């Protein structure tokens, strides 16, 4: 009888210590939207801007915690063209991309923008920037001024 009681107590203790995973701890993936607003930063009608071209590279990447290399989610290149071809600030080009299935506890989203300028002598200069999008931000507007 003691063996039966001891066995029953041991089984009860085993089952009591094995708890089911808490469903509320399961993270729900979120969506993030990144919108690039592309426009001229100035009036380029003057002759000093003759022959000046710009190339624009935009990208959005995801960094997974513990991974050394980010994953490119989206990227695009607008090839070299005259500065005058880009839209004026009153009528910007809007490029919007939505990214679903982001687990904010272990993934961060980052945008980058690179603008390369080339003059009539093929001399190149470049402006580049990028930053992480905070977890609290679901819609990020990125200004790309040429």
Residue 23 has pLDDT above 50, yes or no: no
Structure tokens belonging to residue 100: 């679903």
CA distance 10 to 5: 8
* Contact present, 40 and 92 (Cβ < 8 Å): no
Note the pLDDT tens digit of each residue in 105-133.
888 899 999 999 998 888 999 999 999 99
Tell me the C-alpha distance between 117 and 122, whole Å.
9
pLDDT in tens, 77-96: 999 999 999 999 899 999 99
Q: What is the pTM of this model?
A: 0.76
Q: What is the pLDDT of residues 29-53, one digit of tens each?
A: 999 999 999 999 999 998 889 989 9
Residue (of 65, 57, 74, 71) closest to 27 by Cα position: 65
The 3-state DSSP class for residue 66 equals coil
């Amino acid at each position: 009888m003691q063996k039966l009681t001891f066995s029953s107590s041991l089984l009860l203790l085993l089952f009591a210590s094995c708890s089911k995973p808490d469903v509320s701890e399961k993270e729900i993936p979120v969506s993030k939207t990144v919108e690039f607003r592309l426009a001229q930063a100035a009036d380029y009608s003057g002759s000093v801007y003759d022959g000046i071209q710009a190339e624009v590279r935009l990208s959005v990447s995801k960094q997974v915690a513990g991974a050394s290399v980010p994953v490119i989610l989206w990227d695009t290149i607008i090839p070299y063209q005259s500065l005058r071809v880009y839209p004026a600030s009153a009528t910007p080009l809007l490029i919007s991309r939505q990214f679903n299935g982001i687990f904010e506890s272990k993934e961060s989203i980052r945008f980058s923008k690179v603008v390369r300028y080339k003059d009539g002598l093929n001399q190149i200069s470049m402006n580049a920037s990028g930053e992480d999008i905070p977890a609290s931000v679901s819609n990020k507007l990125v200004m790309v001024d040429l």
